């Protein structure tokens, strides 16, 4: 099939180059054709690529593409081609990060199990504070706007390093707790939660000497542990809650260890955290035997860290 699409593109190149009404008409026909192909097979790499190739010529409406891909994602909300296409069009349009974030919120609230939407949030959140709170001012020079857009595109694309703001993380912890209290055995929210914990840890890692950051992290971990314990009271059999608890205890062990004497915590506290983390991982070996190898590894990491 890919060769047939190649032949079409060869024929279209001169038409698109010519421009004008004929080019716009030809582009519209290609979009109709790829839509028919995608309706038959939403996972066709070559049909999606052909559509991107046509759209890249900027002969047709981009807003219409967003509407179309929303309809496709309503029908198949985990289709990664559809999500990739949305990001492609959003980048071409210079779509505000806030609007994309709102879209993922809608998809998540419709279905907490939409891992694709949680994934996209992880790409968008680090961009939130790099975007102006108000629409670009009229005197914003084109080059400055282009530069900002390039930065947003590259970050949306996966550049790492930007810290997610504390207040943003608080909102995210709240959203994801709704997900795991609603569906405790769905992986999607829990994997996202683990990433959020990593984001919280990153603030401390960025300022390892800061007692304020360390205390703030200890507070976040304590709150999350209390939340997971509440869930375990309601759902004692939740393996995912137990995994998260074990992971949290491991993190607390690290943070507690770093406090040393200065925070007034004796070595007894650290040792207790270490024992608790190791015991939590050991429990999981029995509860979730498929992953026993991983739990043994995590347990040995906890044990080594305590030495």
Partner 1 sequence: MSGVYWGATALHILGQPERLDKAQLIAWVMSCQKPSGGFAGSEKHDAHLLYTLSALQILALYDSLDLVDASQVAAYVAGLQRGDGSFAGDEWGEIDTRFSYCALYSLALLRRLDAANVPAAVDFLRQCRNFDGGFGAQPGGESHAGQVFTCVAALSIAGALDEVVDADLLGWWISERQTPSGGLNGRPEKLQDVCYSWWALSALSTLGRLAWIDAPALTAFILGCQDLELGGISDRPDDAVDVFHTFFGLAGLSLLGHPGLAPIDPVFALPVTTVTRLNLAAQRLSCA
Site residues, partner 1 (CB under 8 A): 2-3, 5-6, 9, 45, 49, 53, 78, 80, 83-84, 87, 113, 115-116, 119-120, 122-123, 154, 156-160, 186-188, 191-192, 195, 289-294, 297, 301
We find the least distance from the C-beta atom of residue 113 to partner 1, in angstroms, to be: 5
We find the least distance from the C-beta atom of residue 21 to partner 1, in angstroms, to be: 25
Whether the CB-CB separation of 190 and 243 falls below 8 Å is answered with yes
We find the least distance from the C-beta atom of residue 211 to partner 1, in angstroms, to be: 28
If the CB atoms of residues 75 and 226 are measured against partner 1, the closer one turns out to be 75
- For 32, 80, 104, 136, 157, the CA distances from 73, given in Å and listed in that order, are 18, 9, 11, 30, 20
If the CB atoms of residues 98 and 187 are measured against partner 1, the closer one turns out to be 187
- Rounded to whole angstroms, the Cα distance separating 264 from 298 reads 28
Q: State both tokens at 154.
A: 């590259």
We find the least distance from the C-beta atom of residue 156 to partner 1, in angstroms, to be: 6
If the CB atoms of residues 2 and 22 are measured against partner 1, the closer one turns out to be 2
Phi-psi category of residue 161: left, alpha or beta, with phi > 0 → left and psi -120 to 50 → alpha: left
If the CB atoms of residues 1 and 212 are measured against partner 1, the closer one turns out to be 1
- Rounded to whole angstroms, the Cα distance separating 66 from 224 reads 36
Phi-psi category of residue 61: left, alpha or beta, with phi > 0 → left and psi -120 to 50 → alpha: beta
We find the least distance from the C-beta atom of residue 202 to partner 1, in angstroms, to be: 12
């Amino acid at each position: 099939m890919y060769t047939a699409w190649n032949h079409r593109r060869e024929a279209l190149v001169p038409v698109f180059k010519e421009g004008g009404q004929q080019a716009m008409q030809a582009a519209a026909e290609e979009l109709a054709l790829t839509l028919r192909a995608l309706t038959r097979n939403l996972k066709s790499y070559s049909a999606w690529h052909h559509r991107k190739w046509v759209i890249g010529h900027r002969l047709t409406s981009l807003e219409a593409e967003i509407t179309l891909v929303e309809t496709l994602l309503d029908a198949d909300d985990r289709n990664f081609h559809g999500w990739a296409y949305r990001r492609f069009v959003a980048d071409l349009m210079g779509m505000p990060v806030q609007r994309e974030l709102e879209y993922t919120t809608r998809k998540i609230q419709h279905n907490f199990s939409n891992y694709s939407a949680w994934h996209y949030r992880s790409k968008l959140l680090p961009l939130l504070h790099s975007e102006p709170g108000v629409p670009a001012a009229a005197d914003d020079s084109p080059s400055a706007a282009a530069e900002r857009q390039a930065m947003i595109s590259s970050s949306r694309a996966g550049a790492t390093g930007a810290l997610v703001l504390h207040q943003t993380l608080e909102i995210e912890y709240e959203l994801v707790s709704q997900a795991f209290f609603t569906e405790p055995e769905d992986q999607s929210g829990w994997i996202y939660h683990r990433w959020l914990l990593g984001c919280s840890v990153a603030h401390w890692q960025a300022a390892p000497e800061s007692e304020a950051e360390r205390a703030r992290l200890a507070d976040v971990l304590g709150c999350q542990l209390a939340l997971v314990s509440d869930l375990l009271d309601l759902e004692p059999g939740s393996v995912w809650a137990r995994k998260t608890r074990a992971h949290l205890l491991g993190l607390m062990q690290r943070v507690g260890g770093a406090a040393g004497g200065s925070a007034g915590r004796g070595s007894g506290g650290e040792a207790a955290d270490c024992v608790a983390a190791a015991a939590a991982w050991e429990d999981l070996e029995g509860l979730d035997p498929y992953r026993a190898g991983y739990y043994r590894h995590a347990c040995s990491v906890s044990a080594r860290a305590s030495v």
